[in-house]
Amino acid sequence: MKQSKIPEDDKRIVKPNFITEIIDDDLKSGKLDYVITRFPPEPNGYAHIGHTYASFINFMLAHDYNGRCHLRMDDTNPLTEKQEYADSLAADFKWLGWDWGEHLYYASDYFEQLYELAIRLIKDGKAYVDSLSEEEIREYRGTVKKAGKESPYRNRSIAENLKLFEEMQAGKHAEGSHVLRAKIDMASNNMKMRDPLLYRIVHASHYRTADKWKVYPMYDFAHGLSDAIEGVTHSLCSLEFIDNRAVYDWLVDNLFETNKPHQYEFGRRSLEYTIVSKRKLLKLVEGNYVSGWDDPRMPTLSGLRRRGVRAEAIRDLASRIGVARTNRTVDISLLEYSIRDDLNREAKRLMAVLEPLAIRISNLDEVIELDAAMWPNEINKNESRKLSFANKLYIEKTDFSENPAKGFKRLSPGEHVRLRHGFIIRCEQVIKKDSEIIELVCSYLPDSLGKSVEGIKVKGAIHWLSEIDAIKAEFRLFDRLFSVANPESGEKDFIEYLNPKSLLIKNGFVEKTVLKEAKDSRFQFERLGYFWQDPIDSKDSALVFNRIVSLKDNWAKLKTVLKTEAKVHVEGIAKDPSLDFNKEQKQMLSDILSLGIPREEAILIAQNIKLGGLLKEAIKTHNNPKDISKWIVNELRRELKDDSEEIKLKARDLANLIALIDEGKINNRIAKDVFAQMLKTFEEPEKIISQKGLGVVASVDKLEPIILKVLTENQDKVNAFKAGKTGLMGFFVGQIMRETKGQASPQIVQKLLKEKLK
């Protein structure tokens, strides 16, 4: 197995964030020496844009740390899951660029092990078969303000529970007649811990295990235990699972002695003008509101791929929106910006006319060949193609106005425009039939190729095609599927917010040069947008082009998008929540920013006035606002259920904990253990350290023998280090931290190691 190591910041794909800090600490302290993450989609539908962010975090963190990420199909519900979905998910994630090597797993791989673990819980008196109905279970669970009450079946004997559970698996009981529950605490403040369900009866065939099983594990049971079975070190999931973490830890702690993974939650990222509910996406497909799961307007990865979006653009979006602890809605313009930014470097420039208006050049009898570049100057590619300037041309109908409004900068009677890569022309005559314009008669200026003409004022430049170069084609212009930013939050059914202009079809002409290019090439049709051939419907005899994205943001100013992008990249947020702050929160934010706290941290603290007060009080004891702020955001805040919860931690104790770190008396690893105890007992950090015998081992006399032992036992790695593999320093530090149970001073260890390894 390769060794995980802490990457240099400028080489990270995932920019430093609270998760990377956790992993860095784990590697430095020796808690682990190899990083394993996992991404566990449920195969009950197709992959969508919502999967991108979570999968990016898991796969790219593993990549950064030279670890690995597993792809695991969370297939514990036989009623909704199919092999078709599992295969499509794997194909989509492979297209996205994720690499799991041999590590493709299914939760159903572990059904036998999970069943045996459930039996163990029953035998240990920690699980029981409950025969309450679903409604009764809900009633007995209580409310947030009212404790639950125990089921009358909670105290069944171990023998009876085993017998019933085995009968459930043998198919002797009807669905809904029994469930297996953990025996935890019906009065817990966390309702998830009130005897959570572990197994239910389902008489349905599973797409992988057929009819072998009649009981199936619940998500909370299968999730953490599958992580433990696979040796996952960091189980990363979105914020809605924060309350489930207690169940996760309880199950892992009660069933595993080693390989104990831990769950960490990050804020979700939703996208404007988009839905990702599989149930609602299915409604769009089955109601024929779209042409299928791969309709280019759909937020599915197959839809985006068919539209022509490249995986590089989607990965770029995921990297831009950052990792944070709070949920955010991302402006869809940021996705469109990433697509344009990617295609600007990849797409050749050609011309197409979507709504043709014929032009006859009255003073031209020959065909003039023109050279036209296929790349903009900044891309620095010299490739070009030939354009035929002849007496029969096509321009866009919208580039001509017989009665132009003020400021119209295209062609009109008696006015001049320049043809892209060509000559200046002047409109001499408008020919109509039944009041409809059918042709324009124009003249061209022979001396105007590539230069201006004295005395001639040109209105603008327009694209065109000659009849010689033009090939018929269908153009599909896609726009946002919904007309409102959040189609799920309104009073109406989301279907009523569908954008009636999300698909427009035009029949025009494309430059014949496209026939020389690969079918999967992307093009910028000048002034119109980025296009590619539809991979299913386009044929050489009947070309069909999908517009991937327009050249400009027609919904918002690009300037705003770039400001948002910069905010996202630097702060990990897509919109500034301080815009919604009340007067007291705004004043608190101002006070915290004045302390030099980074803006994202300041916003998170100012959202909860109590946290802001704690920070201001703590710095009176120990004036290190930046480190105290980090502990409040990264450690304390995630332990609070909501902003109304009382904060019992004393500001003085938090300040003293940071002071102990600054003085070198404890390291971060020890500090986190002490902090966790402080939240339980509210004791002073010094007292906890004394009781547990904690403290940093900084003595050279104590550390040198340990260092020599580690180097002697790992002579092959010592030789590799001396040969240039300096990244092994992290391995040596980790081994020594393990030998000292995390209590060695990493700084002194590194100093001594450098001396010994010279």
Is residue 638 within 8 A of residue 265, CB to CB? The reply is yes
Residues of the chain with pLDDT under 70: 1, 490, 553-580, 638, 641-643, 669, 692-700, 727, 741-743, 745-747
Task: Output phi, psi for 422, to 5 deg.
Answer: -140, -145
Answer yes or no: same fold for 113-217 and 352-463: no
Q: What confidence score (pLDDT) does residue 686 get?
A: 85
Whole-prediction pTM: 0.72
Is residue 35 within 8 A of residue 23, CB to CB? The reply is yes
Is residue 511 within 8 A of residue 350, CB to CB? The reply is yes
pLDDT tens figures, 185-213: 999 989 999 999 999 999 999 999 999 99
Is residue 318 within 8 A of residue 58, CB to CB? The reply is no
Task: Give the C-alpha separation, 226 to 741, whole Å.
Answer: 27
The verdict on domain 700-757 having CATH code 1.10.10.410 is yes
Q: Which of 268, 420, 599, 610 is catalytic?
A: 268
Is residue 419 within 8 A of residue 461, CB to CB? The reply is yes
Query: First CA to last CA across the chain, in angstroms?
Result: 26
Instruction: Give strand pairing partners of 510.
Output: 352, 471
Q: Which of 28, 42, 297, 349 is catalytic?
A: 42
Task: Give the C-alpha separation, 749 to 736, whole Å.
Answer: 8
Domain 113-217 classification at class level = alpha beta
Per-position b or e across 661-696, b if 16+ CB within 10 A of its CB:
beeebbbbbbbbbbbebbeeeeebbeebbeeeebeb
- What architecture is domain 352-463? Beta Barrel (2.40)
**Residue 496 catalytic?**
no
Structure tokens at 242: 């924060």
pLDDT tens figures, 463-500: 999 999 999 999 999 999 999 888 987 678 999 999 99
Task: Give the C-alpha separation, 425 to 21, whole Å.
Answer: 63
Is residue 655 within 8 A of residue 618, CB to CB? The reply is yes
Structure tokens at 59: 């796969």
Element housing 543 (H / E): strand 543-549
**Residue 306 catalytic?**
no
Among candidates 268, 326, 335, which has minimal Cα distance to 604? 326
The domain ranges of the chain are 113-217, 278-348+474-558, 352-463, 576-692, 700-757
96 Cβ partners below 8 Å, 6+ apart? 52, 55, 301, 311, 314, 315
Element housing 235 (H / E): strand 234-238
Q: What confidence score (pLDDT) does residue 706 get?
A: 85
Per-position b or e across 207-226, b if 16+ CB within 10 A of its CB:
bbbeeebbbbbbbbbbbbbb
Structure tokens at 184: 């935890």
Q: Is 577 exposed, middle or buried (0-12, 13-18, 19+ CB in 10 A)?
A: middle
**DSSP code string of 464-515:** -EETTTEEEEEEEEE--SBSSS-TTSSSS-GGGGB-TTSEEEEEEEEEGGGG
Task: Give the C-alpha separation, 236 to 218, whole Å.
Answer: 19
Structure tokens at 755: 């001396």
**DSSP code string of 607-665:** TSHHHHHHHHHHHHHS--HHHHHHHIIIIIGGG-SSTTS---S-HHHHHHHHHHHHTTS
Give the SS3 label for residue 260.
Answer: coil
175 Cβ partners below 8 Å, 6+ apart? 200, 201, 202, 203
Instruction: Give strand pairing partners of 73.
Output: 106
For 647, other C-beta atoms within 10 Å of its C-beta total 15
Task: Give the C-alpha separation, 448 to 122, whole Å.
Answer: 89
Q: Which amino acid is at 428?
A: E
C-alpha count within 13 angstroms, C-beta hemisphere, residue 639: 17
**Residue 42 catalytic?**
yes
| Axis crossing angle, helix 332-346 with helix 311-320, rounded to the nearest 10 | 130
Q: Which of 278, 409, 610, 616 is catalytic?
A: 278
Can you identify the CATH homologous superfamily of domain 278-348+474-558?
Answer: Ribosomal Protein L25; Chain P (2.40.240.10)
Give the SS3 label for residue 373.
Answer: strand
